[in-house]
């Protein structure tokens, strides 16, 4: 990529100065839902140009990295979870306890994606994963230049068919980043939030469950923190297992004790869920499940590696605890295999990784046929919230809110999504409405790998 970028600070989306392109079509915004599409397109300045030719053709994909600092106390909220590597001595989680300490400046960065069009309208989305950004830049950018941004199904299918490795991993993550950015661009083009394009809204707000990754698992800390979350309005809490097969009977005792403490502290009016991040195997998961069934967990998540479909099916047949997984699913085909095998009670596909909004919608359709809910993994929130808001609450009942991660994940954004009383309000503004707080951006650069 040439080092003279198309963007300048004045063009970069910020709370102080939104791009003039976001205002196009504003004269018809109040009547957009009642106006026939052809009439709306004819009234829009971009609609007039679009009929003349190539204004909605992609001219470039541009990756921007912003950097800055935020305040944090590094001696708290760092409880490790069990991982697949924890069977090895050097990777076992140590017993952890929060400690008081001074606040420090923590350096952070985020990558956002622009999709530019010939008519001057831009799509803007992020943060996206760095490994996905590389594929966007090196593989998808040259392929997409000149394509029509409104041809969503065609673009997704062509990206998927463009590389032999596209079906999973970082290539599918890159497709997800592009797909989500294209949805933002279409929302800006029609001057509506993305959920309007998806068919919503289906409710007045989106309820979230609290995801406690990083919370101390010391008994007193668990009691204090789970009650605090309950008082904040969270009717559903997910906690992360700290121990696995490599930790022996003592690790199992701690894993069971966590469930008991939560149920006894919270009572019966809060759902409790548990995540073991693929750090267990079938034997270990069954032993834990049989010991904690009496506490009625809402689900047990990622009990082993996602490729072991038969393990999930056996586990689901062998315990009354619902079985959840899916953050590492890539596309509708993998979800269908799981559901046909009877392996899941909850699908947790992530629109940042599974293929974007376009694919998450298809996954939702497949899941609804099997009468299984989709509760998207909360690695990021923008795309997931718009999908949940636009679909049936039976199929998409909840969002995930990673309490600690989200304190800094959207550090650079002027209006990050934050739940109030465990509910996200309906997003406003065209597209995803993502704007940056320029006061927090200490540096920025165009990524060219």
Tens of pLDDT, residues 185-216: 999 999 999 999 999 899 999 999 999 999 99
Calculate mean pLDDT across residues 228-237: 98
Calculate mean pLDDT across residues 355-377: 98
Instruction: Give percent of the chain above pLDDT 90.
Output: 86
Say what the pLDDT of residue 200 is: 87
pLDDT digits (tens, 9 = 90+) for 38-60: 444 444 544 444 443 489 999 99
Q: Assess whether pLDDT exceeds 70 at residue 245.
A: yes
- State the pLDDT confidence band at 118, using cuts at 50, 70 and 90: very high
Instruction: Give percent of the chain above pLDDT 70.
Output: 88
pLDDT digits (tens, 9 = 90+) for 147-188: 999 999 999 999 999 999 999 999 999 999 999 999 999 999
What residue ranges define each of the domains in the chain, with the CATH number in brackets? 20-65+107-192 (3.30.390.10), 197-431 (3.20.20.120)
268: phi then psi, degrees, rounded to nearest 5: -95, -5
Q: Assess whether pLDDT exceeds 80 at residue 9.
A: no
Q: Assess whether pLDDT exceeds 50 at residue 22.
A: no
Calculate mean pLDDT across residues 326-341: 97
pLDDT digits (tens, 9 = 90+) for 56-104: 999 999 999 999 999 999 999 999 999 999 999 999 988 899 998 999 9
Say what the pLDDT of residue 54 is: 80
Calculate mean pLDDT across residues 30-41: 40
Contacts of 66 (CB under 8 A, 6+ apart): 109, 110, 112, 412, 436, 441, 443, 444
Say what the pLDDT of residue 93 is: 83
Q: Are 140 and 205 in contact (CB under 8 A)?
A: no
pTM: 0.90
Say what the pLDDT of residue 42 is: 45
- State the pLDDT confidence band at 13, using cuts at 50, 70 and 90: low
From the centroid of its chain, how far is CA 439? 25
Per the prediction, the chain carries an average pLDDT of 91
**Buried (b) or exposed (e) across 22-47, using 16+ Cβ within 10 A?**
bebbeebeeeeeeeeeeebbeebebb
Q: Assess whether pLDDT exceeds 90 at residue 237.
A: yes
Calculate mean pLDDT across residues 9-24: 44
pLDDT digits (tens, 9 = 90+) for 414-444: 999 999 999 999 999 999 999 999 999 999 9
Say what the pLDDT of residue 427 is: 94
């Amino acid at each position: 990529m040439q080092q003279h970028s198309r963007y300048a600070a004045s063009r970069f989306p910020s709370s102080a100065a939104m791009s003039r392109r976001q205002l196009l079509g504003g004269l018809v915004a109040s009547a957009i839902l009642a106006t026939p599409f052809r009439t709306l397109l004819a009234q829009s300045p971009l609609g007039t140009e679009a009929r003349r030719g190539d204004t909605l053709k992609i001219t470039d994909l541009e990756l921007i990295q912003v950097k800055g600092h935020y305040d944090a106390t590094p001696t708290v909220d760092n409880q490790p979870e069990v991982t697949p590597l924890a069977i090895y001595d050097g990777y076992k989680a140590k017993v952890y306890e929060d400690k008081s300490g001074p606040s420090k400046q923590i350096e952070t960065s985020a990558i956002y994606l622009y999709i530019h069009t010939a008519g001057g309208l831009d799509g803007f989305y992020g943060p996206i994963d760095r490994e996905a950004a590389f594929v966007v830049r090196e593989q998808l950018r040259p392929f997409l230049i000149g394509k029509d941004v409104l041809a969503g199904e065609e673009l997704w299918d062509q990206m998927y068919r463009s590389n032999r490795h596209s079906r999973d991993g970082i290539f599918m993550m890159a497709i997800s980043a592009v797909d989500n950015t294209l949805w933002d661009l279409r929302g800006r083009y029609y001057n509506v939030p993305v959920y309007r394009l998806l068919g919503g809204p289906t409710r007045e707000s989106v309820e979230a469950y609290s995801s406690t990754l990083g919370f101390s698992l010391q008994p007193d800390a668990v009691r204090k923190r789970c009650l605090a979350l309950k008082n904040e309005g969270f009717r559903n809490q997910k906690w992360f297992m700290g121990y696995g097969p490599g930790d022996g009977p003592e690790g199992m005792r701690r894993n069971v004790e966590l469930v008991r403490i939560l149920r006894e502290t919270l009572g019966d009016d809060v759902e409790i869920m548990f995540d073991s991040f693929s750090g267990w195997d079938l034997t270990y998961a069954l032993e834990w499940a049989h010991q904690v069934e009496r506490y009625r967990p809402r689900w047990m998540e990622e009990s082993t590696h996602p490729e072991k479909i038969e393990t999930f099916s056996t586990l689901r047949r062998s315990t009354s605890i619902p079985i959840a997984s899916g953050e590492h699913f890539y596309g509708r085909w993998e979800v269908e295999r799981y559901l046909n095998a009877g392996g899941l009670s909850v699908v947790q596909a992530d629109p940042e990784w599974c293929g974007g909004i376009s694919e998450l919608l298809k996954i939702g359709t497949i899941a609804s046929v099997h009468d299984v809910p989709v509760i998207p993994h909360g690695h990021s929130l923008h795309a997931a919230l718009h999908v949940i808001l636009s679909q049936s609450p039976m199929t998409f009942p909840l969002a995930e809110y990673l309490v600690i991660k989200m304190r800094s994940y959207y550090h650079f954004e002027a209006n990050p999504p934050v739940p109030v009383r465990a509910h996200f309000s309906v997003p406003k503004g065209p597209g995803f409405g993502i704007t940056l707080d320029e006061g927090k951006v200490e540096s920025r650069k165009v990524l060219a790998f």
